Structure 1
Amino acid sequence: MTVPKPSYGEQAVALVGVSAVARELSRLPLQQRQVLKASDETLLIWDLIVSCSAALTDDTDSRPWGDRLDEVLSRFFVGEIGEEQIEAAARHFETFTKDEVPEWTKAAKRDGARLFLERLLGAAAYERLKVALQQDCAILVVALRRAARNLMPYAVAMDDLFAALPAAQAASLPALTGAPSALLTLAIHLDQALEKLVEFSSGAVLLNSRESESAPLELADLAMLADKFREVVSGRSRAAVKELSAALGRKIQGARDALEHSADPVAQASNSLIELIDRLLRAAFTDDEVMEWLQENYRSTKGLTYIDQKGHSPKTRPTKKAQVLCFLHAGLPVDETSPLHEMAATAIATVRTQLQKLKHADLGTEEEAVEVARHLNAVEGFLHLAVGVTWALAPDERVNQLRTRLEPTRVPSDR
């Protein structure tokens, strides 16, 4: 990729967004902008980032996020956005993130950075730039905090999947994922790290944020937060499965109801979850379709097939892990295999095996009920990630085809 050469217009660059910093920097003399490496492209990228953040966090705007972003982008890109515009913007953004942002950060940490800026710009211009930066940071902090908290249910879902992995595979994961709620812990640390920007922005953040966003989350509340976001994952996954198939929706609801109300919770909940997993995978893709998909995408991967000795002649069939992998990828071609997909597939295959054991070795103990509840969390986390994330990236035509397979009486409709 060719690195674009920064440009510095003799006239103030035409800005169309809401960034106060971009406006202040665009008014500086050319020589000062060059010293600060505030090129036209840098100002436009910064203006775009702040403008998108402001649009997405504007609670007074009732439009969908996509419509808000389209309106912002239409101001920055005149006419239809073509491939050349996208490639040029990507090159400038890469330069901005890899070169300019780290250099600015390094310069800001140097001793005497403030004095240098005051001497370069003059006291009045320096103060205007500082106030502008506070205003932009107030917008960015709210956007980053809201994004971090919106991602926390996904962190919990992944934590629950990691927890279901066999010990041998769990040991091969990065140290970050080795502890319970590790990803949620990381998300909370990121949320707390934003407090420095909150302090710098004075009280401006409070004007843009919701009441629940005015203070950082605390690690002391980790267990409570994990339960809170797990409820979100549970609700979303049940809704997603019910939307896919009313019959399958009853299975996952039945598992939770059994744990809460049944006189035989372990066996009934285990049976409901096993039926959910098997019917979901079987309805989405036949064994022959999975085998064909494996040949095209996972031909050299071991442990994805087995020899079925039942019937008149032995037949090669896909393992449960293979079925899950195909389901996760929506049966589409795989350009590059993903460790996360394999982790999720291994976890769900392991969960099903453990549920089968619990179903037949039910002693009615509290420990068994807790174990089944853990497996239910893993299944709901899987569904939240599979349908809510991986299928969201698949073409509408394929997703609608799968929905019809899972609910044959469904009337085809746009996603």
Structure 2
Amino acid sequence: MKDPVVGGDRRSLVAEFIRRLDPDVRTALHFDDAAVMGADLLVSLCRVLMDNTSSQPWQDRLEAFFEEFDLADVETGLDFTVAQMQDRDQMLAWFNSFKGRNYHLFALRLLGAAEYRRLIEAFKADSAVVALALRRGIRALMPFAVAWSDALGNMTEQQRKAISKNDLLGIELTRGIATIDETIGEKVIATLPMQLTAATADDLSNWRPDNLPEIITSVRHRVVESSTKRLERENSQLVRKIRGAKDALMHSEDGISQAANSLIELIDRIMRETFSKREVLAWIEDNLPDEPDLTYEKDNTTLPTKRAEALCFVYRGGPVAREANEHDNGLGPSLIHDTLARAITITRTSLQKFKHDDDGTQEEKDQLLALLTGLEGALLLGLSLSHASSPVTFDHPPVELDA
């Protein structure tokens, strides 16, 4: 019999081990078909998505992964996994039933010492794969947390309170992620055979909250790169605006005003080239007809405000309707969308003061760089949200109204 710990299969080693057991033994150990298939799906999915040796995009790997399983088995495993995740008490009871000393003594007597050891080793090997996937998943959130923090950094406390009356916007997401990462490392990863996984030295190095400034600085470079790549897919000229602003700050005697002008034009072009004013007005009428401060009158013509354009941008012209919860009554824009839209427009307003009134001081350069950092964060999140949304298809070609 092949040792399940060192086998080359991508599937769950625990599932492989349990499937070879007598049905009565499986029942006695409380391993039903749904639980086994759920474990197989979870571990196999983690292995596939973390396969650094594959040249295939993750979407293709995911499609190939599901082709390996029978559709009925996938539905069974997913139903079990979803049910466990939705009922926290049930999930904890299910896991705790396998942690007790009595259960382990029972399994040892039932399986014998050798088979019991193989089961424990298989369980640890599977757990190491899932732990690595969990750590990488948590760390993948950090660029978005940094971008969110930077975007909020351009807003005053009063401006934040205008969006949310509670403390949701004050939560330190970056510190929370670093704390979770440290806990995973010390409480989980340190106890598992990570050498059996594809873990790198960086994967095994814990993030610590006391090293947060260094972590954020490193991650912020990735935010800038991601924002730049997304902007390039939208329009390469927009990227040149950001680079031009940075070059102006570094080399031009009139750099601050030039950089401010470039960034304002960048914001305006992104809004203008994504949706016309007429499309924004149509979107407001369909989604936010009662939301204040989204339109204004000029020369007997109704026009959208900058906030309206930014909201339409971060929603990608998609629907606003959603379910209500304890923090959100389901009316108006969501907290995240509204915050990002306001961050973009507030940054634009802040940039206006540098257009014609600057002394070229280092303090002003630092302020402008902070605005640029926050803008890049807001654009990264805005573009990420907008591409994740389903765009509205307009039946008429874009027709721009006079500003």
TM bracket (short chain) = 0.7 to 0.9
CA contact (8 A) 2:318 2:389 kept: no
Q: Which runs of 5+ in 2 are unaligned?
A: 1-8, 323-332
Q: Which residue of 1 aligns with 2:192?
A: 201
Q: What TM-score, normalized to structure 1?
A: 0.80
1:98 match: 86
1:39-81 C-alpha deviation (Å, 9 max, x unpaired): 2112112101110111111222222111211121001135xxx
Q: In the alignment, which residue of structure 2 is the partner of 1:77?
A: 70
**Could you list the per-position Cα deviations for residues 369-400 of structure 1 after superposition, in whole angstroms to 9, with x for gaps in the alignment?**
222112111211122122234314436x969x
Aligned residues of 2:146 and 2:219 also touching (Cα < 8 A): yes
Instruction: Report if aligned partners of 1:137, 1:201 keep a CA contact under 8 Å in 2.
Output: yes
- Secondary structure of 2:141's counterpart equals helix
Q: Deviations over 1:7-52 (max 9, x none)?
A: xxxxxxxxx9610112233344545544654221121121011101
**Cα distance change of structure 1 residues 297 and 123 upon mapping to structure 2, 3 Å threshold:** same
Deviates most, 381-390 or 136-145: 381-390
Tell me which of 371, 377, 380 is aligned to 1:375: 371
Q: Is the 8 A contact 2:125 2:193 kept in 1?
A: no
Q: Distance in 1 between matches of 2:225 and 2:45?
A: 29
Q: Percent identity?
A: 35
Determine the structure 1 residue equivalent to 2:205.
215
Does the 8 Å CA contact 1:145/1:213 hold for their aligned counterparts? yes
> 2:12 maps to what in 1?
19
Give, in whole Å, the separation in 1 of the partners of 2:165 and 2:95. Answer: 31
Q: Deviations over 1:156-212 (max 9, x none)?
A: 111112222342353437646426xx222222222222222222213435x521222
Assess if the C-alpha contact under 8 Å between 1:17 and 1:48 holds in 2. Answer: no
Q: Is the 2:37–2:73 contact (alpha carbons within 8 Å) kept by the matching residues of 1? A: no
In structure 2, relative to structure 1, the CA distance for the partners of 1:62 and 1:52 (3 Å cut) is: same
CA-based RMSD of the aligned residues comes to 3.1
**C-alpha distance in 2 between matches for 1:266 and 1:113:** 69
What is aligned with 1:43?
Answer: 36
Paired residues for 1:234-383 under 5 Å? 234-308=224-298, 311=299, 313=300, 315-336=301-322, 337-383=333-379
**Relative to structure 1, is the Cα distance of residues 30 and 232 closer, same or farther in structure 2, using a 3 angstrom cutoff?**
same
1:62 equivalent in alignment to 2:48: no
The DSSP-based 3-state class of the residue aligned with 1:105 is helix
| 1:176–1:183 contact (8 Å) kept in structure 2 | no
TM-score, normalized by length of structure 2? 0.83
Cα–Cα, structure 1 residues 109 and 367, in superposed 2: closer, same or farther, change >3 Å? farther
**Code of the aligned partner of 1:364:** G
How far apart in 2 are the matches of 1:87 and 1:118?
Answer: 32
Q: Does 1:178 align with 2:170?
A: yes
Q: Is structure 2 residue 147 aligned with structure 1 residue 157?
A: yes
TM-superposed deviation, 1:249:
1.9
How many equivalent residue pairs? 375
SS in structure 2 opposite 1:234?
Answer: helix
Give the AA of the match of 2:316: A
Gaps of 5+ in 1: 1-15, 79-83, 406-415
1: CA distance, partners of 2:393 / 2:170: 35
Q: Give the AA of the match of 1:286.
A: S
> What secondary structure is seen at the aligned counterpart in 2 of 1:76?
coil
